[in-house]
Amino acid sequence: MFAPEVAVPLLLSLRVAGLAVLFVFLAGVPVARLMAGRDFPGKDAVEALLTLPLVLPPTVVGFGLLFLFGKHGPLGRLLENLWGVSVIFNWWGAVVASTVVAFPLLYQAVRASFQAIDRNIENAARTLGASEWRVFQTISLPLAWPGLVAGIVMAFARALGEFGATLMVAGNIPGRTQTAPLAIYAATESGDNRTALVLVVLMTLLSFIVIFWVNRWSKHRLKRWTLDDEMFNSTARPGCLTCSNQPRKRGQGSTP
């Protein structure tokens, strides 16, 4: 089952998606924080620009990235001059493509959850002597965390499934840049339905597990400090480490 023609693309996909999510996270959180803040001229245009990769056809993104990172593109030349590297037609190209395409998903989710935070809660921290960094670290970030996790999951799923832009930027080189979606396409084209089916099942399973786990986790975590005693108690599961020490009233809803 885990023949190299299945395992190699799958592992590459996981590696590419993991790195892409890391980059998306590092770029998306500060940008979302800035955009959730005060207005500035041209904010709507910036907003549209940041969301663009979500709605553009992947081939347009791929073309754009080829242009930017190509031998004569501005970023391509910069990378060449600085470190003598190129991202075109190697697996870093897949990372770049996945990062760009997945960025809007995380950005949107995180910005929305930053905006949903009650301004007075952050203001209260300020009147208590907290610096802006401490406010961000101890108040804004933890309160936006559920949205952040949702964003990470969606970005990961999108990066895992990235096809069009990856094909254009990184190519379809088996063993080097062939990610799982590309491998499925290649296997189907060449009539190797067995490999394609195994990959399809594994991808579906993987995506399902990730989303299922995150949904469960965020629900559970939210309820821990929720407002409503009844809601809180109805989710307190026996044998659960985080809720077993909490009081349970009237025993209602204690069975899951």
Partner 1 sequence: MLKSTKEKRAGIDPMNIFARNKNVSAPVKSLLSVNIFKKLPAFPMQIELSVQNEVLVVVGPSGAGKTTLLQCLSGLQKPHQGEIVLNGRVLFSSTARVNLPPRHRNVGYVFQDYALFPHMTVEQNAAYGMKGNRRKSLKLQEVLEMLQIAHLAHRYPGQISGGERQRTALARALLADPELLLLDEPLSALDYETRYKIRKELKSLQRHWGIPFILVTHDLEEAAFLGDRVMRMEKGRVVGWGIPDDIMYRHANPGGRCPSPYPQ
Q: Which residues bind partner 1 (CB under 8 A)?
A: 118, 120-121, 123-131, 138-139, 142-143, 224-229, 232
Give the shortest CB-122-to-partner 1 separation in angstroms: 9
CB of 6 closer than 8 Å to CB of 198? yes
Q: Which is nearer to partner 1, 19 or 125 (CB)?
A: 125
Give the shortest CB-108-to-partner 1 separation in angstroms: 23
Q: Which is nearer to partner 1, 59 or 131 (CB)?
A: 131
Give the shortest CB-246-to-partner 1 separation in angstroms: 8
Alpha helices in the chain (DSSP H): 4-36, 43-55, 58-69, 74-83, 91-115, 119-127, 132-135, 141-160, 164-169, 180-189, 193-224, 229-235
Give the shortest CB-144-to-partner 1 separation in angstroms: 11
Q: Which is nearer to partner 1, 121 or 205 (CB)?
A: 121
Q: Which is nearer to partner 1, 46 or 143 (CB)?
A: 143
- Number of other residues whose CB lies within 10 A of the CB of residue 60: 15
Longest dimension (CA), the chain: 71
Q: Give SS3 for 235.
A: helix
Q: Which is nearer to partner 1, 52 or 130 (CB)?
A: 130
Give the shortest CB-216-to-partner 1 separation in angstroms: 19
Contacts of 113 (CB under 8 A, 6+ apart): 143, 144, 146, 147, 148
Q: Please report, as a single letter, which amino acid is at residue 155.
A: A
